[in-house]
Every structure is written in C-alpha cells, then in structure tokens.
Amino acid sequence: MEKPVNTYWKTNLKYLSILLSIWFLVSFGFGILFVDFMNQFQIGGFKLGFWFAQQGSIYVFVVLIFLYVFLMNRLDDKTLE
C-alpha cells in the first residue's frame, strides 16, 4: 500500500506531463516544427499552422490552465477524504 502523499504527487506529475505535452505540441509542434505540413490545410482564410501559431495555441493555453486547476481541485478533495 502506497502512502497517499506519494500517490498525490505521482498523479500531479502525470497531469503535468500530459498537459505540458499538449502545451508543447500546439505551440512548438503545430506552430513551428510541423507548420509546413499544417499549412496545407485551410479553414476559412487561415492556414492551419498559422492559425495555431497566432490564435489556436493561445486558446489551448487558457484551456490548459483551467483544466489543471479543475484536476488539482478534484485531486485535493479526493486526497482529503
């Protein structure tokens, strides 16, 4: 049986790594590394890679922060029980 503190920290790290991978993917990935591939697609007047660099990544950032707060609050409640 693991200590609850350990599980808490491990879950935290799991959340962090998932969220930060998304963080990296949308900005560095879609905006810089794969931008030429992404730019083949077009929504409206936007090339997709360009859209991610200028707007999409920022929307995702905001969602990520809210998601982390939500996940950690839930985790806090669960650990305290």
Which residues in this chain contact another protein in the complex, by CB under 8 A? 16, 19-20, 23, 27-28, 31-33, 35-36, 39, 43-47, 49-51, 53-55, 57-58, 61, 64-65, 68-69, 72
3-state secondary structure of 34: coil
Nearer to another protein, 7 or 67 (CB): 67
Q: Do 35 and 53 touch, CB atoms closer than 8 A? A: yes
> Hunting for tokens 């991610």 — which residue is that?
52
CB of 50 to another protein, least distance (A): 4
Nearer to another protein, 7 or 50 (CB): 50
Q: Which residues of 17-40 are buried (b: 16+ CB within 10 A; e: fewer)?
A: eebeebbebbbebbbeeebeebee
Nearer residue to another protein within complex by CB, 7 or 12: 12
